[in-house]
Each structure stands twice: as structure tokens, then as C-alpha cells.
Amino acid sequence: MSTSEFYLPEGLPAPAPAPDGLDKPYWEGVSVNKLIVQRCKGCKTYQWGPEWVCHKCHSFDIGWEEVAPKGVIYSWERAWHPVHPALKDHGPYIVVLVELPHAGNIRMIGNLLGDPKQDIKIGANVEAVFEHHTGSKMPYTLVHWRVTK
Amino acid sequence: MSDRSLRGKTAVVGVGETTYYKRGGAPDAEFVLAIKAILAACEDAGIDPREVDGFSSYSNDRNDPSRISAALGIKELKFACMQWGGGGGGGSGAVANAASAVASGVADVVVVFRALAQGQFARFGQGPKMSAIAGDMAYSMPYGVMSPAQMFAMRCTRHLHETGITRDTYKAVSLATYAHAQNNPRAVMHGRPLTPEAYDNARWIVEPYQLYDCCMENDGAAALVIVSADRAKDLKKKPAYILGATSGSEYRNAAPSHNAPLYATSSFTSLAPRLYDMAKVGPKDVDVLQSYENFTGGVVMSIIEHGFCTHEEANSFMTTENFLAKGGKLPLNTSGGNLAECYMHGLELITEAVRQIRGESPNQVKDAKISMVTSGPMVTPVSNSIFGSRETL
């Protein structure tokens, strides 16, 4: 699932791949609507955000694995006060912390699409929506979430 | 039996601060604020500032000890220490580091200080203005998670969800803190009382925090002087002995993109038992608590994690009355703290803890002998400390 509408106005800091190359597979994945996260080749531990070493077994041989782009809402916040010029006059927006039970319960941050004043339920099922910013000098993709029935 | 403990080996013998200002209100540069606070603390201790031989700070304070030493004509610098990371979570950690240096003979007179001019430098409450962000923050900032309030709100949301604790506990923290500031002429919010109605009607900053759940942004500086327990006996003020001070956080607390396994905590679950072990006291012995309020929700978690009540008891225990110096079961933030005295990055909480031991607080708890500080909930590392009067040694 992808969207061409932007949830937040442009002008916020854009994500850039780490200069050391650590998270390259993630950014390449989201650009083609795939959620790709770290999974240790040795002990099979899922890991997010990315690290150079497996926190469980200390292997440096960490693989990347595509996971189903879905999860459950673990926590949320609704921001009202604008702390960035790009958000001035924008109004409230929702941030969710999404847990991926099928990928070692790793968590990801994104925005929750839909009415910014909607009721939010911890535990609700959500699916990823890929928001492509292709017009930027350095194109990037954000991963948002939408409640599923 | 191991003697590897800080208990009772050092004491705070001087405290001082500048006038506390609203953000942008300081007439002095930040370095000048730092110097003024250090001189005030030395004056309070009755120690010649040239005798200071160590400095300890936190949160990447910009005022370099070598430069301070040169400016003040310090005879010999022996200790220059910075607690890494954690912002205000470093306050008690800086005390622990200073006390460790003195207890081990590395230095003799160590000043803990923090200076902040958010008018001169960047504001804490605003997001950064760069066009691109790489690394851990690339997974949060583009989604509008940029300010401290936004970084910690989801921890509190999850905590309220897991425990059934209500935001009335947040309100109690805020109202008690503001009430205390009304008796403290140093407080920025002195003369500006907060009513329950004003608390309720305030705008949302980021749910679950309304305006009065959030700390202020201020300019100022504070400092304290630490010497050995032996030396402390002969100085002019009643010593506040350091019974314990610890820092750190739980397993993988800093796992990127909010992946800390223990998410709904203020990061103190592993520190609290260590602190009580070192100080040889328990929560029941604590007469007065200064608990760092970046946001009220973090205070609620800190109080529980330090064993003052359980999650189940929180809704009934955490009332404004119970938090007041006058007659409360757990007098809390008796100077007005980060919410209403000054956001001196929590060092004002430590000077207040010391004043309680001395009997010099604007909201004095009668016969306070054990005075405790928790520094910087929800960050990593956090830290905490316990101070005691002579009879607690």
C-alpha cells in the first residue's frame, strides 16, 4: 500500500541513509514498498533499529529479512504544539509506536493516517502505508500506518 | 566485607545559584552565569574558590572546567568530569562522580555545576531545523517526534494503559509543585499560583501532556560544593552527607526507535534498589523527595519505581495533599522544581534536597533527615541520590 499524499507538511527534517551504510537495505526496501529489517543469521534474533552487531549473540553477520508490513499499536501520542516552523498552523497529528509480533516484537514509529482527532486504541491492528517523496533532491520514503478492520 | 560504597564519605557543604530567569531573560552570558553560581556556592561553603580542584557536570554543559579554572585562578585542577548523555538524567550522576573523586582521593574540593542560557543557545523545546537527518533519529524525526515532550509522551501513554493510572496523578504533581513555588522567592513562578481549573483548561502540548505537565525553559546556573565528610565537619554550614548516588539504566534502554524492552518505565527500575542498598535506607525512611519533572508523567513513574507506592496504590496515593511539604505523606519538589522554580536542568532539585537537610527550604519539612533526588526520568542514563543529616551516618 502506498500513498501520494503527505501526512505532514514538507519541510521537516528528511530521513537520510546513514553515511556508514548501516541501514541501506531498509531505505532501499521502503522505496519499493517493502519492510526490510535486521535478523541475525546466527541466532535468528530480529533487531530494530539497526545495529552493526547482534545484541543477543554478538555476531556481525546480520542479515536483512522482509517482514509483513503490519503490526499492532503499542503506544501513541497526539502532538498539538508545533515545535517546527513547517508545523505551524498545521494542527494536531498522531504518532504511533507499532509493534510487529511476527518479527520478534520489534517496534517502529510512524504516523497514523486518517482523522488526526480519531480515537486511538492500543492493540489495534494496523498496516503500513508507504509515502514516497520522489520530488525531493534526495528522494525518500516514510512508513505510516493505517488501522485495519 | 567490602567497603566499596560512597555512603557517608562525602558531603555537600555549599550550594548556590544565580537569579533564575525566563528563557532569554538572563543579562549575562552562560559562562558568566556558571561562574556566578560557582562563586555563590563557594561563598555559602566558606571555601576560597581558588581551592576548588575539581568540576563535575552533565548533559554536555558548554562551560569547560579548564576555562573556568583559568578564569577563577584555581590553583590546581585535578578532576574534570562529564556525565555522558541523558540530559537532566545526569544531575545525581554528576554528584556521584564528584563524590567518587573525593572519596577516593582523586580530588579534594569538587564543584558540581550546570549553566543554561536557552536564550543565548538553542531552546530545548523546539525541534531542530536541519534539512535531513540520518541515524536513529531518521526513524522518528520525520514523523514529527522532535522535542523532548514528543520523545517521551508514548512511554507515558503506554504506562497509563498498562496500569490504569489516571492523569489526576499528573495534576497532583503539577499543583503541589506550583504550590511550593509560591513560598519560594527564587522561583520563576513565584506569585503565579496554579489553580486546578487552570491546569485542566490548559492546552495540550502532546497527549498525554498538557501545558502544566511540562517543565519550563529557563536561563540560569546552579552549583554545589562537595568535600570529604571529615573536612565537612569544620565548615560553616550543616553538611548534607551523601548516603548514596547511582546512575545508569535498564537492559537496552537506548535500543533505537523506542525498542527498549522495558518501555513503560522512567528507566529507574534497576537503579532504585542499588541506591537504597548503598544508602542503607528504604523509601519509608525518606522524609522529602525532589523528583525531576521534564514531564509530570515521568515523576509518577519515578515515584512508583522507587517504591513509594505501587501501581495499584498510585491513584489514591498521588494527591496534591500527599505531595505538599505541609502535612503530606511524600513532600515533593519543595522548591517548585523544573515546573515552577527554574528549569536548571534539575540541579535546583539537588540544591533544594541539601537545603531540606539544613533546614533552609522555603517549604521546610519538619526535622528532615533523609532527603532524596531522582534525576531525569525516561532518559538514559538516569541517576538518583540520597542525602542525610549527621545523625543518619
pLDDT in tens, B108-129: 999 999 999 988 888 888 888 8
What single-letter amino acid sits at B214? C
Predicted TM-score (pTM) above 0.80? yes
pLDDT at position B8: 98
On the question of pLDDT at A141 being above 60, the answer is yes
* Closest residue by Cα to residue B378 from B253, B290, B244, B289: B253
pLDDT at position B319: 98
Predicted confidence band of residue A135 (pLDDT cuts 50, 70, 90) = confident
CATH of A68-149, one of 2.60.40, 3.30.1360, 2.40.50, 1.10.730: 2.40.50
pLDDT at position B366: 97
For testing contact with chain B, the best of A27, A94, A95 (most B CBs within 10 A) = A95
Low-confidence ranges of chain B (pLDDT < 50): 1
pLDDT in tens, A7-21: 999 999 999 999 999
pLDDT in tens, A64-101: 999 999 999 999 999 999 999 999 999 999 999 999 99
**Domain count across chain B:** 1
Within a domain: B231: yes
How large is the angle between the packed helices B296-305 and B168-181, nearest 10 degrees?
100
What are the chain B neighbours of A79 within 8 Å (beta carbons)?
144, 150, 153, 205-207
- Give how far B135 is from chain A: nearest CA, Å: 5
Q: Which residues contact B2 (CB under 8 A, 6 or more apart)?
A: none
C-alpha cell at B102: 573525593
3-state secondary structure A75-130: EEEEECCCCCHHHCCCCCEEEEEEEEHHHCCEEEEEEECCCCCCCCCCCCEEEEEE
- The CATH code of the domain that includes B282 is 3.40.47.10
- How high is the ipTM of this complex? 0.97
DSSP per-residue codes, B275-295? HHHHHT--GGG--EEEE--SB
B375 in Cβ contact with B349 (< 8 Å) = yes
B178 is catalytic: no
For testing contact with chain B, the best of A26, A31, A75 (most B CBs within 10 A) = A75
B73 in Cβ contact with B331 (< 8 Å) = no
Q: Which residues contact B259 (CB under 8 A, 6 or more apart)?
A: A48, A49, A106, A107, B252
Q: Hey, is the C-beta of A93 within 8 angstroms of any chain B C-beta?
A: yes
C-alpha cell at A95: 504518532
* Closest residue by Cα to residue B199 from B362, B370, B339, B20: B339
- Residues A90, A93: Cα–Cα separation, whole Å: 8
pLDDT at position B333: 98
Domain residue ranges of chain A, discontinuous segments joined by +: 18-67, 68-149
Within a domain: B285: yes
- Residues B41, B348: Cα–Cα separation, whole Å: 12
Task: Give the nearest chain B residue to A107 (CA atoms).
Answer: B259
pLDDT in tens, B204-227: 999 999 999 999 999 999 999 999
B344 in Cβ contact with B218 (< 8 Å) = yes
Q: Hey, is the C-beta of A108 within 8 angstroms of any chain B C-beta?
A: yes
Within a domain: B209: no
B170 is catalytic: no
For B297, the domain range is 10-120+214-392
Q: Which CA distances in Å does B290 have to A35, B71, B110, B323, B374? A: 44, 33, 22, 11, 6
- Residues B103, B342: Cα–Cα separation, whole Å: 30
| Cis bond upstream, residue B381 (ω within 30) | yes
pLDDT at position A115: 97
Within a domain: B142: no
- Residues B258, B4: Cα–Cα separation, whole Å: 35
pLDDT at position B124: 86
On the question of pLDDT at A4 being above 80, the answer is no
What single-letter amino acid sits at B274? R
What are the chain B neighbours of A107 within 8 Å (beta carbons)?
257-259, 263
Within a domain: B307: yes
pLDDT at position B2: 60
B201 in Cβ contact with B194 (< 8 Å) = no
What are the chain B neighbours of A50 within 8 Å (beta carbons)?
256
Q: Hey, is the C-beta of A14 within 8 angstroms of any chain B C-beta?
A: yes
- Residues B300, B172: Cα–Cα separation, whole Å: 10
